[in-house]
Structure 1
Amino acid sequence: MGLLKTIFFLVLSYYAFKFLARLFAPFLMRKAAETIKKKAAQQYGGQQREQQQKKSSVKEGETIIDKKPGSQQESKKSVGEYVDFEEID
């Protein structure tokens, strides 16, 4: 009889969890989406403010270069010394 009670409570708790998950899952997903949306807005807003501050400090007609172009010169370093090996019979 104890085994049947245990199985009954396990099945009952499984279906109760399943039912509650269906009730609360949309709410939890909506809450998580709002949190992610707020974080993304804060990050984007911070970048946008920085760009506006840079633009406001530039006078009209002034040219500003944010990055230096990378040098595309070939490397003149020698890779190493060439060694000619001979086969030994």
Structure 2
Amino acid sequence: MGLLKTILIILLVYYGFKVLSRLFAPLLVRFVAKKAEEKFGGQFGGFQNSSQQRQQQKQKEGETVIDKMPSQNKGSNPKVGEYIDYEEID
């Protein structure tokens, strides 16, 4: 009788935990995401806001701005090898 009672308690605890986790998991995930957003926003928020404000002051409406110039090195990589064009023969 004791073994049956122990198995029923274990099953009850298992299914109770399963039901409670389905109820509280979305709340927990939302809470963790909000905390992470606050943490990262606090670290990077000042930098982004000040750079965006400077960009808006310098930039006129309709003006094109290039932030990064492309590199001038357009040659092929010598480690890769040579490209050989081929056609499939049926």
Sort the TM-score into its range (normalised by shorter chain): 0.5 to 0.7
The separation in 2 between residues aligned to 1:3 and 1:16, in whole angstroms, is 20
TM, length-normalised to structure 1: 0.53
The separation in 1 between residues aligned to 2:27 and 2:50, in whole angstroms, is 35
Q: Aligned-residue CA RMSD in angstroms?
A: 1.9
Question: What is the letter of the counterpart of residue 44 of structure 1?
Answer: F
> Which structure 1 residue ranges, 5 or more long, are not aligned?
56-89
Q: Specify the structure having the higher radius of gyration (Cα).
A: 1
The separation in 1 between residues aligned to 2:21 and 2:49, in whole angstroms, is 41
The separation in 1 between residues aligned to 2:48 and 2:15, in whole angstroms, is 49
The separation in 2 between residues aligned to 1:8 and 1:33, in whole angstroms, is 37
Structure 1 stretches of 4+ with a deviation exceeding 4 A read 49-52
The separation in 1 between residues aligned to 2:17 and 2:51, in whole angstroms, is 49
Identity between Structure 1 and Structure 2 (%): 51
User: What are the Cα deviations for residues 7-60 of structure 1, in whole angstroms up to 9, with x where unaligned?
Assistant: 0000010000000000000000000000000011101123347769xx7xxxxx
TM, length-normalised to structure 2: 0.52
- The answer for the alignment partner of 1:25 in structure 2 is 25
The separation in 2 between residues aligned to 1:20 and 1:12, in whole angstroms, is 12
- The answer for the alignment partner of 1:60 in structure 2 is none
Equivalence map 1:3-82=2 (5 Å)? 3-48=3-48
The separation in 2 between residues aligned to 1:15 and 1:49, in whole angstroms, is 48
> Which structure 2 residue ranges, 5 or more long, are not aligned?
55-90
